[in-house]
């Protein structure tokens, strides 16, 4: 069972993803995200110290979504290795399709900024 804090974080991440997909991260303010989440900007900063941290967490969230889906495919023992591979590729494409607006806006912003975000690995 997830905690209230985890539920809030997931709400913030989903809301930020929607706004970033529509407007881009640079045109989205933390205030907008907080308002759509029904919280104060100060409360938002209790969960994420900056927009950069929120954005990095959003990328991690997307990767975790993919990993969870691929783990389910891996555990499908009734599938042949070939069918498991096909299913894994389908899962990847389904997730990219689900996140397409967000991913496209991120690519557009990366092109405008001239580089891909370089975050520390730890």
Give the model confidence (pLDDT) of 46-79 as tens digits.
999 999 899 999 989 999 999 999 999 999 889 9
CATH number 1.10.357.10 is the correct assignment for the domain at 4-113: yes
Helices 51-74 + 30-37 axis angle, to 10: 60
Give the model confidence (pLDDT) of 83-114 as tens digits.
999 999 999 999 999 999 988 888 888 787 76
Q: For residue 6, give Cα distances in angstroms to 2, 11, 13, 61.
A: 6, 9, 10, 12
pTM of the model: 0.77
Q: Where are the domains of the chain?
A: 4-113
């Amino acid at each position: 069972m997830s905690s209230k804090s985890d539920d809030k974080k997931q709400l913030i991440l989903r809301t930020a993803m929607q706004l970033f997909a529509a407007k881009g991260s640079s045109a989205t303010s933390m205030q907008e995200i907080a308002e759509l989440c029904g919280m104060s900007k100060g409360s938002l900063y209790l969960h994420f110290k900056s927009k950069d941290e929120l954005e990095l967490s959003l990328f991690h969230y997307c990767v975790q979504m993919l990993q969870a889906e691929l783990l389910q495919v891996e555990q499908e023992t009734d599938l042949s290795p070939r069918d498991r591979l096909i299913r894994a590729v389908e899962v990847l494409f389904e997730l990219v399709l689900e996140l397409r607006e967000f991913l496209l806006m991120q690519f557009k912003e990366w092109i405008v900024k001239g580089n891909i975000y370089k975050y520390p690995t730890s």
